[in-house]
Structure 1
Amino acid sequence: MKVVMRLAFLFLILASIDSTQSYKILVYSPRFSQSINNFLGNIADTLVDAGHNVTTLIPIIISELRDGTHKSKKIHIQPSEETTNIADSFKYEDGDFINDNDLNIIHSVMFGKFFTGLLNSGCPLIAELDVHSFSSRLLNMYANFVYFVAFYAGKAEINTLFKERYGPEFPGVHEIGSHAAFNFINTEPLIDFAAPTLSRIVAIGGIGAKEPKKLDGELDLILSLRQKTVLLSLGSIVQSFTLPLQIKQNIVKVISQFPEVTFIWKYEYPEDAFAKSVSTTTPNLHLFKWMPQNDILADKRLTAFITHGGMASTQETALRGKPGIYIPFFGDQFRNAGMMQKNELGTVFDKHNLYNADKLHAAVKDLLENESYYENAARVAAMISKKPFSSKELLVKTVEFAAEFGPSPALRPQSYDMSWIEYHNADIIAVFAVLSFFIVVSTLKVVKCVLKKVLRIVKVKEE
């Protein structure tokens, strides 16, 4: 299953404006996640570069984040009081991402309600397991159920909001989505798990990674200090400074055991007591509140990446040909990490094992010494760079095609109009089950009758 968070929150409204095939395009990009902002922002900028008139509608949910687009026109919607209250009720730095379990249905429902409520108020875990194992497939089915339940309430809330504002006859999310001309998803097929798909689903993975810039200043100097440099970043939600002290101490302990390797750690509060103490005692460690991750990953001097396994980070890692250790904390990160391990681009490291310095040391040692990771990463990066059609080309051509011709009924699956019974052939299965039952019962009765006659004949002969 593709986790909901992997889907692009992208809505395009297209209208031809002149005979030069230039279109007016609206990109909807709620500001609630920096990586998704960058993904949608680069979509907007790519369409601007293709000659289109693009406007990005940006409901501000988390004000501290930056807009992802630099070239399109922008319309900001200031947060309502409800949006501010919901956002203030959940601070990322207060989250216990080490102990939280995505497969805990109560936790998932609460997070799903918070997540969708946050998005709605601003309106104008899944790991791929061994498919041959019964227990793994059962766990995957349960995980699908948990995520369905987690986001069901949010979808219902959106439908209610639509009907309140536009009338009871206004279609719901499912119906609106079923008539979309195309669906863009943020995934790279060359590293993703193979899965059945539809012709109207277009994968544009990696488009969120902007063209890298050459490093200069302090970062340029740091990457020149040693022959090997490792980047460590856990993303924008799981903030390193909030990790339990023992885990932070274990990370520093392991880093100190590789004095010949430079480590760059995205640590949001480099001025706190912990950061100040380790900065003076660990010469091969450099802490940064923020850094240009994409630019660093593109630098040939960077050896490897230790990351949380967010979609943007895993795709940038593959795009730049770097192996990694993937430490998933929640959501799609488990699937993304498993995807990278399946392609032998590194290993998945259980977040709970961060309490064990020896296991972390072994993982880092394997990352630095396993040459197959580097060979595979270089091969994947070359494949992505030489694809017949780049993600940008697919985006532009598909949007222009949709703008000119609109949705094609041929690309809309009939399953959208099928009931649960029809979709799963439950009625056919039920009929065959009933027929099979009667056949079995009838057969047993015939056998029983025949046996009685045979036994009767045998008894008569014996007498």
Structure 2
Amino acid sequence: MRPVCYCSVLLLLLLIPRECQGGNILVLPAEGSHWINMDVLLKALHSRGHSITVVRCSKSWYIKDNSYYSTITVPVERQLDQDFANKFLKEFMKFQQGDLPLSSFLYTSLRVLPKFAEVHTNVSELVSVMLDDTQLIRRINESKFDLVLTDPCWGNGVIVAKYFNLPMVYNVRWLIPEDAHFAIAPSPLSYVPVTGTGSTDKMTFFQRVKNVLFHQITQIQSFLPSKLVYQPLCEKYLGPDCDFEQIKVDADIWLMRTNFVFDYPRPTMPNVVYIGGFHCKPPEPLPEHLEEFVQSSGEHGVIIMSLGAFVSQLPEDLANEIAATFAKLPQKVIWSYRGKRPDTLGNNTLMVDWMPQKDLLGDPKIKLFVAHGGKNGIIEAICHAVPVVGLPMFFDQYDNLLRLQERGAAKILTLATVSKDDNFLKALQEVLNEPSYRMNMQRLSRLHKDQPMKPMDTAVFWIEFVMRHKGAAHLKAQSYKMPWYIYHSVDVVLFLTAAVLLMLLAPVLFLRCLCKTLCKPKVKRD
């Protein structure tokens, strides 16, 4: 009788529906590879039963309608469009072909600074149109969202979150336009390299000098959009006393798209959660034509090459040089490239408009990844233990690849050196034939995978944590509310300096007065 009772209870428990704990999440994403990251996270949240609403502009070129989220489409006249991005990147690549990372950074920082502010102005139109629409504001209020999830490389998400008084979680790597760590955590410039310096965490004296100078440049880059673009929006919609510099670092949780297997150790904060590799997934079967091509490579294996979502084509001479080099190798090559077909393309190279990168990287026949150094691809290469030859183009790509090169898992070539003295061929052969590159990457892969929780599970947990507790104020330091002179204790130093000077001067003044009194000549009276 007792076993029957147990079985009945078990059956009853199985039939009882689980309590739904789904939340209501408002998402303000960014375009390009940033959206690819966000999309992966949104799918995981949807699978947990959460309702997701994505705010996009009417000119979005990455964010499409989908079944697992609803959309709010904001009509705008201006936006960062694909044509603008392509023109800028083409100009930058042409410049970089004849220069070094130092001047490339200075070029990016100074010459394109007006364009940078223009892009933020265009992107921020979404906030004005959105918050001037009374019907849309009513719709959002009636939806009773639990959370704003945003990518803070633009300043739109934080203003919207503060306007509707909602908890906020960042899916973050960049914060207008610096590494987000510099905005929230102590960042000693003696061993924390600024992106663009091409330095590691072991710097010489002159590298530290350069690090300080570059840090000042990035502060200017951050200051201009904040004050010229986003501060007026804060004053208009949040009140004259609202300081954008303060609210932009007031997120409850910062889901940081990196980890310390890839990055250099550095100070951090309690509300910074590291989810590097959250987008990595086990490889799926390849399409039939790719599987056939990969298997035809025999013992030599396959090289794959991709230069990311933004780079659709290369200068013609550079593309021909790369194709000619691939033709000299015994390996098969799969090259994701949407530009003009190079005249020197060999029979061993398959050129495709798109390839399933993560599935290819997970195939044991892939021997080498030729990459531009985007964070997504670098982390995927670490996950699947595939060594890298890097061809960095712009932004943080050189620094990303440098982290792998320092760990012995990659070889970097600049665009200026690819075509010289068979450098590209020599780099490919070195990484293919020297076992240490693959061994070092395998070591990084083991470290990356040896975690108590999967990065995606960690990300989802903390998003749900913020929804359950209506924020995470207990994890936020008070530093973001402090003026710079209080944060750096300048007022305390001045006070103590004055006190010490007073203590030193007081005896001197006393003795001086005493001496004057004692040594004062007596006046003879008649």
Same topology, TM > 0.5: yes
- Return the alpha-carbon distance in structure 2 between the equivalents of residues 433 and 283 of structure 1: 75
Instruction: Quote the residue 2:77 is aligned against.
Output: 81
Instruction: Quote the residue 1:278 is aligned against.
Output: 344
* Counterpart residue type for residue 168 of structure 1: P
Name which of 48, 54, 66 aligns with 1:56: 54
**Pair 1:414–1:290, CA change in 2 (3 A):** same
Displacement after TM superposition at 1:87 (Å): 6.0
* Counterpart residue type for residue 342 of structure 1: E
* Counterpart residue type for residue 21 of structure 2: Q
Instruction: Quote the residue 1:102 is aligned against.
Output: 105
Residue pair 1:235, 1:308 contacting (<8 A) in 2 also: yes
Displacement after TM superposition at 1:135 (Å): 1.1
- Return the alpha-carbon distance in structure 2 between the equivalents of residues 331 and 439 of structure 1: 52
* Counterpart residue type for residue 447 of structure 2: M
- Return the alpha-carbon distance in structure 2 between the equivalents of residues 440 and 291 of structure 1: 73
Q: Identical aligned pairs, as a percentage? A: 20
- Return the alpha-carbon distance in structure 1 between the equivalents of residues 207 and 59 of structure 2: 37
1:27-426 → structure 2 map (5 Å cutoff): 27-30=27-30, 32-33=31-32, 35-63=33-61, 65=62, 67=64, 72-77=68-73, 79-83=75-79, 88-92=83-87, 94-100=90-96, 101-104=104-107, 105-123=109-127, 124=130, 125-126=195-196, 127-129=198-200, 131-156=202-227, 157-169=229-241, 171-226=242-297, 227-239=300-312, 241=313, 243-258=314-329, 260-269=330-339, 272=340, 274-275=341-342, 277-279=343-345, 282-426=346-490
Residue pair 1:29, 1:37 contacting (<8 A) in 2 also: yes
- Return the alpha-carbon distance in structure 1 between the equivalents of residues 494 and 394 of structure 2: 39
Per-residue CA deviations over 1:405-429 (Å, capped at 9, x if unaligned) read: 1334432212212222222233444
Displacement after TM superposition at 1:117 (Å): 2.7
Instruction: Quote the residue 1:14 is aligned against.
Output: none
Q: Equivalent residue of 2:78, what SS?
A: helix
* Counterpart residue type for residue 334 of structure 2: I
Instruction: Quote the residue 1:7 is aligned against.
Output: none
Gaps of 5+ in 1: 1-17, 443-463
Displacement after TM superposition at 1:237 (Å): 1.9
Between structure 1 and structure 2, the one with the greater Rg is 2
- Return the alpha-carbon distance in structure 1 between the equivalents of residues 423 and 433 of structure 2: 15
Per-residue CA deviations over 1:213-237 (Å, capped at 9, x if unaligned) read: 2102221122122232111111122
* Counterpart residue type for residue 105 of structure 2: D
**Pair 1:433–1:253, CA change in 2 (3 A):** farther
Question: Aligned residues, how many?
Answer: 410
Instruction: Single out whichever of 290-299 and 377-386 deviates more from structure 2.
Output: 377-386
Residue pair 2:275, 2:459 contacting (<8 A) in 1 also: yes
Per-residue CA deviations over 1:108-133 (Å, capped at 9, x if unaligned) read: 52343244234313333423336340
TM-score by length of 1: 0.80
Over the residues paired in the alignment, what is the CA RMSD in angstroms? 2.8
Q: Equivalent residue of 1:232, what SS?
A: strand
Matched, 1:23 2:93: no
- Return the alpha-carbon distance in structure 1 between the equivalents of residues 328 and 426 of structure 2: 11
Per-residue CA deviations over 1:198-254 (Å, capped at 9, x if unaligned) read: 010111122233553210222112212223211111112233x2x233322221232
**Pair 1:203–1:111, CA change in 2 (3 A):** farther
* Counterpart residue type for residue 361 of structure 1: L
Displacement after TM superposition at 1:186 (Å): 0.9
Instruction: Single out whichever of 289-298 and 51-60 deviates more from structure 2.
Output: 51-60
* Counterpart residue type for residue 195 of structure 1: R
Residue pair 1:97, 1:238 contacting (<8 A) in 2 also: no
- Return the alpha-carbon distance in structure 2 between the equivalents of residues 323 and 73 of structure 1: 36
* Counterpart residue type for residue 112 of structure 1: F
TM-score by length of 2: 0.71
Residue pair 2:381, 2:387 contacting (<8 A) in 1 also: yes
Gaps of 5+ in 2: 1-17, 97-103, 131-194, 507-526
**Pair 1:210–1:79, CA change in 2 (3 A):** farther
Per-residue CA deviations over 1:347-406 (Å, capped at 9, x if unaligned) read: 222222123152222211111112111112222223323311111111121111111113
- Return the alpha-carbon distance in structure 1 between the equivalents of residues 485 and 234 of structure 2: 27
